[in-house]
Every structure is written in C-alpha cells, then in structure tokens.
Copies of this chain bind each other. A is one copy, B any other.
Amino acid sequence: MSADHVRFQARKSIEQVEEGNDLAPKFDERGLITVVTTDADSGEVLMQGYMNAEALQLSITTGEAHYYSRSRQVLWHKGATSGLKQTIRELLIDDDQDCIWLRVDVAGGASCHVGYRSCFYRKIPVAADYESKQSEGHIELEWTDTTKVFDPEEVYGDAPNPTIL
C-alpha cells in the first residue's frame, strides 16, 4: 500500500466513528459523500458537491479539491477546465463521517460555473421579511451578488451546462 492510496477504515461502532481517530467515511448507495466548500478567508459557502472514494483520496494526497460530477458521471478535478483550482487549507469530516468540509483558497476567486464568486448569490426572505414581501405565498429571490468574476462562455466554451432541470 503506497502513500498515494489513502486507507479508509471499516465502520465498526458509533463510538469509533463519532469519537475516534479512525478515518471511516460513509459513502452512500451511489458511492458518494457530500462536500461543503467554503472560502478559507471569508467563510463564505462557495459550493456543495460530492466526492467518491477516489476523489477523496486525491483531495487528501494532492491538496487540491477533487469532486465527482453527478451530471457528467466522472471524477472532476475542480479547475482543470476553468483554471479556477481550489487549494485545500483544511479538510474536515463530520461526526458520523458522511460529510466533508473543505476550507479552500480559490485561484481566480470564483467557484461557480455561472461566473459568480459563490454558487449562492440569491436569497429567500424569511419570517417577518417573507410575510411582508409574499403575495399569496409567492416570493421573488433577492440577489446578494450581481458581479460576475468571469465570463462562462469564454471559460467553458460550448461545454454542456451541468445544471439539470
């Protein structure tokens, strides 16, 4: 077993998984684990994605974020096409080890295929704010960022859009 192949441990008990030092990630029935990626400086959530076992191993050994693209069904080295690589400053795992949190530095400052810094550029009013703005339960999304960091057409050309309706 070489250093390029990170070893995951079998999941034996709740105590081991929640309170131990074993790396025993839980991949779901599709072989995936969820990933939350935040900007290491600002704390902003940049994106939410998925890793398979290979993507997690490569993220650990290289220190660059690798994901599994569900729409394209391939291992996805983030930034390989766009140049907007994510360098991992910290890689955390949650209590039951079915979610990864990446704290990253982003080359080029953007992580969203639409061109914004973050994938989260719109918000939904809640509580009293929702009450005052809704009309028969209908509300409009509110924009929190309107400045595109890059032009998706220039960066991705005619590659298919990953959004699935």
Contacts and interface: CB of A to CB of B under 8 A. Distances in A.
Nearest to A131: B3
A95 B117 CA distance: 11
A163 B124 contact: no
Given A1-B136, A17-B165, A136-B7, A122 B96 contact: no
29 contacts: A1-B137, A2-B137, A3-B134, A4-B137, A6-B139, A7-B138, A11-B165, A12-B165, A17-B165, A21-B122, A21-B140, A26-B164, A36-B48, A47-B94, A59-B126, A62-B127, A63-B130, A92-B122, A93-B122, A93-B124, A94-B119, A95-B114, A95-B119, A95-B163, A96-B162, A96-B164, A99-B119, A99-B120, A101-B120
